Structures are given as structure tokens and as C-alpha cells.
Amino acid sequence: MTKGGGEPKYLLDSDDEPLRLELQARLYDVERDVRRLAPSPDAQVLDAGCGSGAMTRAIARAVPRGHVTGIDREPRFLQFARRQAAADAIANITFDQGDLYSLPFASSTFDLVWSKHVLQWLREPRRALEEFRRVTRPGGRVVSCNFDGVCLSHYPVDLELQQDLELWFREAANRLGFDALIGRKLYSLFHQAGLVHVKAEFEPDRVFSGGGPLTPDHRKNWELQLQATMDFTAEVFGSRERAEDFWRRFLAHIDRDDTYSFCALFYVEGSVP
């Protein structure tokens, strides 16, 4: 995931993060996102904040006469993405390092700009959307997918755990600019960024919603994320011991047979006038 100058370091940055992103892409079923995007076979596409490149590769397969560019701020993610694309023998794909606030592309370069789980990490998501609009040709599309309310809605409710979760996300917002409620804001942000014919849909998030117990892959996805956030969580709660206890209680709660967790996933699309 990519952030502009002055943005905090990506909280989930770790040696395991590219592999986790590949796992999460499988859990989401990236082909489902490609079908929703429905790019034309000759489209020029930008995957903004491409991470491990899982979605970039999936889009490239769908545009055999086109080309897909993945851009991210993290060099290690890009190295992983290039290796995976080469291993899959995908030729119509490029990975570049760059800043979502100042994309290294000429105006009107792409037919479609896509981002998923990126804008919640940005202090100025509207500014990034304005860049997405700039590099998209007139009549082209900008599409963003982001969750809303991740980790915050569970039933039964553990009141102590709920208070700790809300504290964690307040601190993540204040210190890192992380917006757990970005999904509901995208419709307005797309309009503010000058996009037209804006439409929004939401559905249960396939990865962060559902009833317990967790599947092995869902548990692994959670464990890798929680471990990557441990230093920050220790700052929030005052010690590593309390941080480990917090995440242990969280995993135990969502793993219960009778717990249902809910998170919305928004897909918002707009066109460039």
C-alpha cells in the first residue's frame, strides 16, 4: 500500500506481508473483483497501491491486448510482485515505485484506475483520488474498494474488548491517519475529487465478516496482521504483555462458535468528465 510524503509507515509492513496479501487475495477471490471491474481486453489499467501484485496479475490476464501497471511505495512488495509476475509468465504488466499523491504518469494515461484497501491508510484520500482522476482519460473509470467498520461490530458483545478495540482504532486514527470508516465516505469523496456518474454498492466483507469458528486461512490472515501491529499496540496499551493479551482476547472472541462479526465492503466507481 502506498502513502505520500509525510505519511506514516505502513503499519502492516513486515517480511511476511507480501505472502499475507497473497493469502488475503485468495480469501477475497480476486477473480471476483476482476469480473466486477469488467475491463475491456485492450484496457490500460493502473492498480494503485498494488502490494504483492495479486490483483495486478489477475487484471493482466483479463486484458490480453492491454497493459496493467502496479504502483506501490514499498520496494520489497514490488520485488515480490515482479517475481510472481515473471513466474506466471505475464508479459503485459509493469511494476513501478511511486507516491499516490504524485503519480509518475502523464495525464489521461489510463482507461481504468483501481485501488483496494488503500485509501484507509491515507490522511488525504481525496488528494489521492484527484490524482487517480488526473491520470485517467476522459470517459475512463476510477474504482475503489474499501472496508467500513473492520473489527468493530461483533455479537455477542464483550464490553471490555469493545472498549479496547475502540481505543485502538482511535489511536490508529490519531497517530497514523487510519480510517476504519472510510467506506461510507467514498461516495462523497469521489464527488469532491471531480468524478461524475458516481455509484456505490456495499456488501458483507468476505474476509472480515462471518460467524466463528475461524477457518485456518482466516486465522492465519488475522495472526499475521496482529503480529505486524504488535509494536504499535504495545504503545497504545502501555506494554507488550497487555498488547498480546488484547489480541489474544480478540482472536478468542471472534473464534467462538456463537460470535458473528460484521464489516461492510464498499465498491465505489466514478467516471472522468
CATH assignment of the domain containing 72: 3.40.50.150
Report yes or no on 5 lying in a domain. Answer: no
pLDDT at residue 113 greater than cutoff 70: yes
Q: How many other C-beta atoms can be found within 10 angstroms of the C-beta atom of residue 271?
A: 17
Domain tally, the chain: 1
Residue 148 near residue 263, CB atoms below 8 Å: yes
Confidence band for 13, pLDDT divided at 50, 70 and 90: confident
Average pLDDT over residues 138-152: 97
- With a cut of 60, say whether residue 19 has pLDDT above it: yes
pLDDT value for 7: 79
2 domain-assigned:
no
Exposure pattern of 76-85 as b/e (b: 16+ CB <10 Å)? ebbebbeebb
Has residue 143 been placed in a domain?
A: yes
CA 208 to chain centre: 12
Report the alpha-carbon distance of residue 129 to residue 113 in Å, rounded: 10
Indicate whether 69 belongs to any domain: yes
Expressed as residue numbers, the domain containing 261 is 17-271
Mean pLDDT for 170-185 is 97
DSSP assignment of 194-238 equals: T-EEEEEEEEE-TTT-EESSPPHHHHHHHHHHHHHTHHHHHHHHS
Question: Does residue 256 sit within a domain?
Answer: yes
168: pLDDT strictly greater than 80? yes
pTM of the model: 0.95
Query: What's residue 6's pLDDT?
Result: 62
Q: What is the DSSP letter of 9?
A: P
**Mean pLDDT, the chain, integer:** 96
In a domain, 4, yes or no: no
pLDDT for residue 65:
98
Mean pLDDT of 198-205: 98
Task: Give me the residues paired with residue 114 across strands.
Answer: 47, 143
For cell 488525504, name the residue.
124
Provide mean pLDDT across the span 18-46: 97
Residue 129 placed within a domain: yes
| Mean pLDDT value across residues 103-118 | 98
User: How does pLDDT run across 57-70, given as a tens digit for each residue?
Assistant: 999 999 999 999 99
In 54-166, where do the E strands start and end? Answer: 67-72, 93-97, 110-116, 136-155
Residues 6+ apart with CB under 8 A from 18: 51, 52, 76, 77, 80, 81
Q: Which percentage of the chain shows pLDDT scores above 70?
A: 98
pLDDT, residue 3, reads 38
Residue 189 has pLDDT above 80, yes or no: yes
155 assigned to some structural domain: yes
